[in-house]
Amino acid sequence: MELRDAILTRRSYTNYLDKKVDLQLIGEILNLAIYAPSAGNMQNWNIVIVDDDDKRKQIAQACLKQMWMYQAPVHIVILNKKPDIQRMFGKKGETYGIQNCAALAQNILLLATDAGLASCWVGSFDKDAINGIVGAPSTQEPEIIITLGYSKDKPVSTRYKLERVCCFNQCGITRKDFGFFPLEKHKIKMEEMLKKESKSLVEKIKSLFKKDNE
């Protein structure tokens, strides 16, 4: 799958099939995902793969009782090794550590999509409870949990137009010559061309019927 396709087709899935995920596939995904950028190349993440039934149920409970998560056969818990990043950057390390884990998580989501897996980013949970479930020390803080599996359905979601969320040089400043990605421009041109060709074809057919009736 092209990177563009993975970006466009990735969605947040909350309805999973009762189908196991090959751990070899999970390993391949994570082996690439860890090439995510990180401040100072600290790579301050610790990844816990959870496929145990009881632990997944506990994690779902700790995530504000989002029990749909239990359907997913694999949970990826991303822990932030805070002392490592704070030792280098001080207080700013609190922000950098979260950003680094987020970059890793995005890689996992896109690679999972590329591998034909469904996924969902979960960020609301009882951190102390998650630490207890996965046996993480207090120096490591859970930042993100990702569910992985095979989806029962395909959720539909929309995105704002680029011009609604993008400005130039200063907030609120837009440009009339900017707003569409090349792909969308191409799509619009193709649609206009097809409309013209369709209209032309209809006119030709009408002309032929007219000649037959003369």
pLDDT in tens, 86-104: 999 999 999 999 999 999 9
Residue 40 within a domain: yes
φ/ψ (deg, to 5) at 106 = -65, -40
Label residue 162 by pLDDT band (50, 70, 90): confident
Least confident of 40-44, 83-87, 150-154, 156-160: 156-160
5 by Cβ neighbours in 10 Å (0-12 / 13-18 / 19+) ranks as: exposed
Total domains, the chain: 1
Cα–Cα distance for residue pair 153/72, rounded to 1 Å: 13
pLDDT at 152 over 60: yes
Strands 118-122 and 140-149, sheet pairing: antiparallel
pLDDT > 70 in the chain, percent: 83
Task: Pull the structure tokens for residue 105.
Answer: 């998580």
pLDDT at 210 over 70: no
Residue reference for tokens 């590329």:
114
> Letter for the amino acid at 213?
N
Residue 194 within a domain: no
Residue 167 within a domain: no
Q: What is the pLDDT of residue 190?
A: 56
Task: Determine the Cα angle at 47 with ends 81 and 69, to 5°.
Answer: 120
Arithmetic mean of pLDDT, 185-212: 61
Which CATH number fits the domain that encloses residue 37?
3.40.109.10
Task: Pull the structure tokens for residue 39.
Answer: 């401040």
Residue 101 within a domain: yes
pTM: 0.82
Q: What is the pLDDT of residue 157?
A: 86
Residue 16 DSSP SS3 = strand
Give me the chain's average pLDDT, please: 90
Arithmetic mean of pLDDT, 138-149: 98
Whether the Cβ atoms of residue 82 and residue 140 lie closer than 8 Å to each other: yes
Residue 82 within a domain: yes
Domain that holds residue 55: 3-149
pLDDT > 90 in the chain, percent: 73
Which residues, 6+ apart, have CB-to-CB distance to 40 below 8 Å? 85, 88, 89, 96
